[in-house]
Every structure is written in C-alpha cells, then in structure tokens.
C-alpha cells in the first residue's frame, strides 16, 4: 500500500498568516493527490484534487502544489473558519490511502 | 443538489453483524461509483472499498475483505455496507462518499456518517 505521511501533526496560525501543510507519499503518485478539511463532528470536505485543482466553492486562498512524492497545501491568509483537521489522500492505486491528518488551530 | 443520506447510529454486540445504508439523491445513481470510508475515534481515515452500481462491481481494501460487503439497489438509489463478526476494533464512524466526477478518485460528496459502537 502507498503510505502517506503528513507534517506537521499540528500547528497554530494567526489570522492572516500563511499556512503550509506537507504530504509525502511512499512512492511517486503522479499528482494523484487530494486534500480534505474536516471540522469536529462533520464529514470531510474536498478542497483540492489532482494535486492543484481547486474544488468548486472552495475559497481561492487554498492552493495545492507538488509532484512525484512531495505535495503541499497552502492557505494564503488564515481565517477563523479554516480551523480543523486536514488530510491528504492518494488516488493513484487501490487501496486509496490517507495521511494521518494535520490539526490547524487559530493562535 | 447531490445528497447522501446515511442510516442511523448503531449499537451492536461483539460477534454480530450490522448493515448500514446510504441513500443517494440529486444525481443518476448508476453514473458514479460509491465509496466507503472508516474513521476510528480520534483517528484518521481508511478507505474500505467501492461499488459501481451500474454493473455491481466491487473493489475492496484487502484489510476489509471478509469484514465488509458492499451492495447497491438501483431501484431505490441506495448503497449498503454490511460489517460482519464485529469487534471493538470496528467501532468507528463509517462514511459513504461519491466521486467528484466519474472515474476520478476524489470524494466531493459525503454522507453524514453512521456511528457504529460495538459493545456488550
């Protein structure tokens, strides 16, 4: 199975700060990566797919980049509503696998 | 509007089975695969498997083979997942999720989740 390693496990950011979350795959996943946000008690929400495509309705302050085994999610200006847990997911091969998550809090 | 409505929370005894449902609306049920994802308490996400309702074809995470059985009823636009021989390790929230576009492995639509608690 492809292992997905996220870093950091948690971080806190101030309003307006730029936030970057990393995801590393155990093998080349050829941009087959998505990012999700999950808030307490809610289902995950798709933010980015195909490594860099913004899902409809997601604010433009979210962006994704990367290739090969290294990917990142950037929030250009932290907002209150961005608090939550962020997961990466590879969709190249079965079984699809997720990172362990990054908890983002407002400082 | 695409909606996935899951069945209610379940409290089940160890060794028993449970079958949960995911009723789809707002799109043509047979045009998309349905996926199932497990989230253990305070843990991350695990992909269980998928079913293509049009042809009743399933693919499973090897870890869940023998544990989960996926089915779909085209007449009622409902996907089902049955979990068998339950243990405390199966206590989790289970989500159904639909692809963003046909054939793309990104989950844009999620059910609200079904909490399964395994306890005697």
CA–CA dist A19, A99 (Å, integer):
18
pLDDT of residue A100: 96
Which residues, 6 or more positions from B71, have their beta carbon under 8 angstroms from its beta carbon?
Answer: B51, B56, B79, B80, B81, B82
CB B29 within 8 A of CB B35: no
Q: Phi and psi (nearest 5°) for A64?
A: -125, 150
pLDDT of residue B54: 94
Which strand ranges, in their side-by-side order, compose the sheet holding B18-25? Answer: B3-6, B18-25, B78-83, B68-73
Cβ of A44 within 8 Å of Cβ of B45? The answer is yes
Q: Phi and psi (nearest 5°) for B42?
A: 65, 15
Residuewise pLDDT in 10s, chain B (120 residues):
999 999 999 999 999 999 999 999 999 999 999 999 999 987 789 999 999 999 999 999 999 999 999 999 999 999 999 999 999 999 999 999 999 888 899 999 999 999 999 999
Of the partner residues A46, A55, A95, the one whose CB lies closest to the CB of residue B61: A95
Closest residue by Cα to residue A102 from A2, A19, A18, A26? A19
CB of A46 less than 8 A from some CB of B = yes
User: Closest residue of A to B96, CA-based?
Assistant: A43
Which residues, 6 or more positions from A60, have their beta carbon under 8 angstroms from its beta carbon?
Answer: A54
pLDDT of residue A30: 97
User: Closest residue of B to A42, CA-based?
Assistant: B112
Task: Determine which of B47, B67, B112 to mutate to test the interface with A (most A C-beta atoms within 10 Å).
Answer: B47
User: Closest residue of A to B41, CA-based?
Assistant: A41
pLDDT of residue B88: 95
Show residues of chain A in contact with B106, CB under 8 Å.
Answer: 34, 46, 49-50, 55, 89, 91
Give the B-side interface with A, CB within 8 Å: 35, 44-47, 59, 61-63, 95, 100, 104-108, 110-113
- From residue B106, alpha-carbon distances to A45, B87, B98 in Å are 10, 30, 8
Closest residue by Cα to residue B89 from B105, B70, B67, B106? B67
Q: Which two tokens stand for residue A15?
A: 């309003």
CA–CA dist B48, B97 (Å, integer):
11
Query: What are the DSSP calls for B2-42, one per residue?
Result: -EEEEPPPEEE-TT--EEEEEEEESS-GGGS-EEEEEE-TT
Cβ of B112 within 8 Å of Cβ of A94? The answer is no
**CA diameter of chain B:** 42
Task: Determine which of B107, B111, B114 to mutate to test the interface with A (most A C-beta atoms within 10 Å).
Answer: B107
pLDDT of residue B65: 97
Q: Which two tokens stand for residue A78?
A: 């932290």
Task: Determine which of A43, A49, A91, A100 to mutate to test the interface with B (most B C-beta atoms within 10 Å).
Answer: A43
What stretches in chain A show pLDDT beneath 70?
none
Tell me if residue B63 falls in helix, strand or coil.
helix
B47, with CB counted inside 10 A (0-12, 13-18, 19+), is: buried
Length of chain A: 107
- CB pairs A-B closer than 8 Å: 53
């Amino acid at each position: 199975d492809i292992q997905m390693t996220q870093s950091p496990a948690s971080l806190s950011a101030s309003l307006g700060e730029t936030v970057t979350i990393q995801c590393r795959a155990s093998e080349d996943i050829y941009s087959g990566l998505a990012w999700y946000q999950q808030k307490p008690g809610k289902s995950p929400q798709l933010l980015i797919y195909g490594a860099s495509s913004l899902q409809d309705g997601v604010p433009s302050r979210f962006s994704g980049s990367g290739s090969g085994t290294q990917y990142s999610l950037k929030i250009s200006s932290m907002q209150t509503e961005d608090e939550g847990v962020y997961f990466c997911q590879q969709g190249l091969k079965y079984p699809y696998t997720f990172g362990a998550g990054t908890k983002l809090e407002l400082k | 509007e695409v909606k996935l409505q899951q069945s209610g929370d379940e409290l089940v005894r160890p060794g028993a089975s449970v079958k949960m449902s995911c009723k789809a609306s707002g799109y043509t049920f047979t045009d998309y695969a349905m996926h199932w994802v497990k989230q253990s308490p305070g843990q991350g996400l695990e992909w269980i498997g998928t079913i293509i309702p049009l042809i009743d074809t399933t693919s499973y995470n090897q870890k869940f083979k023998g544990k989960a059985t996926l089915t779909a009823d085209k007449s009622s636009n409902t996907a089902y997942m049955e979990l068998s021989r339950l243990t405390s390790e199966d206590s989790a929230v289970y989500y159904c999720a639909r692809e963003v576009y046909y054939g793309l492995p990104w989950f844009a639509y999620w059910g609200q989740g079904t909490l399964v608690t395994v306890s005697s």
